[in-house]
Amino acid sequence: MESCHNKDMALLDHRIRRLDEKLAKLNKLRPLSSTQVQKLREQLEIEMTYNSNAIEGNSLTLRETWLVLHEGITIKGKPLKDHLEAKDHKEALDFLFELVSNRRCTISEHLLRQLQQLVVQETEKECAGRYRNGVVIIGGAAHVPPDAIDVPRQMGGMMQWLKNNERKLHTVELSAILHHKLTAIHPFFDGNGRTARLVMNITLMRKGFPLAIILKNDRKKYYDVLQKADDGDRVPITLFIAQSVERTLDLYLRTFAREKPTKLVTLADVSRYTPYGQKYINLLARTGRIFAVKRGRIWYTTKEDIEEYRKGRLRKR
């Protein structure tokens, strides 16, 4: 067990160094094209809204989420609540981007209540912006959140922890642990997960990282690393969040670092032109060792990135 933990720690150190290197590359490209930044923001807002809501059980697909938010279309056969959740989350994201752009993003209990109020304002009006006053159960988890009477004290303790560690921990580690602490306290009757993912991103974005998205298809792994954090091991959730950060950071670098955009291809297609099998390339994509993006259940990468990986292996040999 200790050997596995040490291995994870080494992997985390390597991943964080790589993230810092990539962020430095992105910063050298600034100022970025405002048109391209806006297009990326719109794309990521839809993906974030879809994935964050879907993790909580929202039935809208990615395409349906886009139609609801951009065309104002009502999706036949889908609950009204799901439509309202999409609109609420988009409004919360707009608020988040405004905070970060204006550098008015000091994290406080007031800000957390504001975010939660936005994500449930049309679906759970009676509990919007208020700490819970009763018992909650996290479905499928062994963790039991604190009694309602203890929530204010624990939230105050979390804010003090944040103040004490903001300059001690790496931004990715800070955001991951803060995310876990908030979900463990579960201070609201509804919207805890969505609020935690939003505040995680404020922590990241105020230090220059782009929006990080936890994918619906990674929900099982997401719950698993949260459970491990409940048991005291926060390295897995930090690794998990780091992978989400790197996924979007790679997208920004691909967009702004190359004059000509490269073509995304499925892992099955790219395996035909490389010495690696599809299963091995899938492993590289899932572990973040190559650039890859996930759309629905399908991973995409580029021939150029596989070639860079192959050259890197040859250099090591």
- The CA angle 191-115-157, to the nearest 5 degrees, is 85
Query: What integer pLDDT is reported at residue 315 of this predicted model?
Result: 61
The C-alpha atoms of residue 151 and residue 184 are separated, in whole angstroms, by 11
Q: Calculate mean pLDDT across residues 97-116.
A: 90
Confidence band of 208 (pLDDT split at 50, 70, 90): very high
Check residues 80 and 255 and name the one with the higher pLDDT: 80
Answer whether CATH 1.10.3290.10 is correct for domain 2-261: yes
Q: CA dist 50 to 26, 70, 296, Å?
A: 26, 13, 11
Write out pLDDT tens, residues 50-78.
Answer: 999 999 999 999 999 999 999 999 999 99
Q: CA dist 237 to 36, 87, 227, 230, 293, Å?
A: 31, 28, 9, 10, 20
Asked which of 115-119, 160-164, 227-231, 307-311 is least confident by mean pLDDT, the reply is: 307-311
* pLDDT greater than 60 at residue 1: no
**Can you spell out the DSSP letters for 51-86?**
HHHHHTT----HHHHHIIIII-PPPTTS-HHHHHHH
Write out pLDDT tens, residues 216-230.
Answer: 999 999 999 999 999
Of 83, 89, 180, 186, which one is the catalytic site residue?
Answer: 186
Closest CA to 169 of 12, 3, 8, 10: 12
Could you confirm whether 83 is annotated as catalytic? no
